[in-house]
Structure 1
Amino acid sequence: MKIGDKLLKVLNKTYEPSTMVTRKFGRYDLAMKTDEAGNPILLFIGQADEQGMIKGDQFTRRLIKDENGVTLKDHWDYKGKV
């Protein structure tokens, strides 16, 4: 699975820091773990079961900023099926 432009708009938003955020995106369920700044760094996308566990794909984010807060690297890596 590939992350498209519409999903990137959702992932580039800032959420509550250091939490697991769940939401719907089209026909998919999303679960995003955020860092201390509220940026999503871990993404699970697929179909949630009765317990809320997502069966689908996992992505991790490489987000590197310098001391001034300027983004040097921002990339999502596909980690496989979950």
Structure 2
Amino acid sequence: MNLGNDILKILDKQYAPNTLVETSYKNLDLAFKTDATGAPILLFLGKKDEQGQIKGERYVRRLKKSEDGKLLKDHWDLKGKAT
């Protein structure tokens, strides 16, 4: 499953540093962890089960910045099933 533009808009925002954020989009549940700067870096996308765990896909964000802080690379890698 590719991440759509609407989901990427949610993930491009800044959130509280080092937290787990849970939200939903249409019929999907999203949970993502943020790094020290508040950028989402780990995403679980799918449907929650009875225990609150998301069953679906797991994505990891690759952020590469230059020494002066400019963003060089920013993309999401599908890492497999989230169970």
TM-score range, shorter-chain basis? over 0.9
Say whether residues 1:53 and 2:53 are aligned partners: yes
Q: Partners of 1:54 and 1:35 in 2: how far apart?
A: 20
Report % sequence identity: 55
Query: Scaled by the length of structure 1, what TM-score is found?
Result: 0.95
Residues matched between the structures, number: 82
Give the superposition deviation at 1:51: 1.9
Moved over 4 A (4+): none
Aligned to 1:81: 81
1:76 counterpart letter in structure 2: W
How well do the aligned residues superpose, as a CA RMSD in angstroms?
0.8
Say whether residues 1:4 and 2:7 are aligned partners: no
Query: Scaled by the length of structure 2, what TM-score is found?
Result: 0.94
Say whether residues 1:35 and 2:42 are aligned partners: no
More divergent stretch after superposition (49-58 vs 34-43): 49-58
